[in-house]
Amino acid sequence: MKILVLNGPNLNMLGIREPEIYGNKTYKDLVAMIGDRAVKSGVEVEVYQSNHEGDLVDKIQSAYKNADGIIINPAAYTHTSIALLDALKAVGIPAVEVHISDVNGREEFRKTSFVRAACVKTVSGKGFEGYIEALDFLTQYIGENK
């Protein structure tokens, strides 16, 4: 089983960016944590981050027939990108939306998610552990729906 983990803008700044919201762990720490869980679960993961919407769309499209599932933290594009929604719908790969912070407890504009309509689950407000929950859920979901 192969899972693509996509991270949107500014997530490369974890550990620096608003530590009171996102914590002190770095993006490198996040990638290592996901990789460790994938090994334990016997799942292949590819982790990708971009600050550019088109790059994320291209990566979703490249997952077609190459990945069994997608975990996506679109970051700020959550609230603005119909292009990411359309890409997820186009490839038809089960996806889980993840947010490190509790987006529903923050500014009003963060409560709107365009990508959610193409996802089988959303995990929000659980920090880095949200990615682990998403990975565990997605591997089980894919296994049950093959």
Residues with a known catalytic role: 22, 99
Q: How many residues does the chain have?
A: 146
Do residues 133 and 97 lie in contact, with contact meaning Cβ atoms separated by under 8 Å?
no
Q: How far is the C-alpha of 5 from the C-alpha of 121, rounded, in Å?
A: 14
Residue 111 is given by DSSP the state G
Do residues 22 and 64 lie in contact, with contact meaning Cβ atoms separated by under 8 Å?
no
Sheet holding 95-99, edge to edge: 44-49, 2-7, 69-73, 95-99, 121-124
| DSSP-derived 3-state class of residue 80 | coil
Q: How far is the C-alpha of 72 from the C-alpha of 4, rounded, in Å?
A: 8
